[in-house]
Structure 1
Amino acid sequence: MGKARLPAEEVTGLIRQEVPGSQPVFVDPSGARRRRIRWAAYAAGALLVLILVAVWVSQLSGPAAPPARPPCASGACTR
Structure 2
Amino acid sequence: MSDPVRFLRECALGTRVTVRRRIDDGFTDALGYLRELSDTACVVETRRGLVEVPLDAVTAAIRVPEPPPRRAPRHPIV
TM-score range, shorter chain: under 0.3
By percentage of residues, which structure has more helix?
1
By percentage of residues, which structure has more strand?
2
Greater relative contact order (CA < 8 Å, ≥ 6 in sequence): 2
Larger Rg: 1
What is the TM-score with the length of structure 1 in the denominator? 0.21
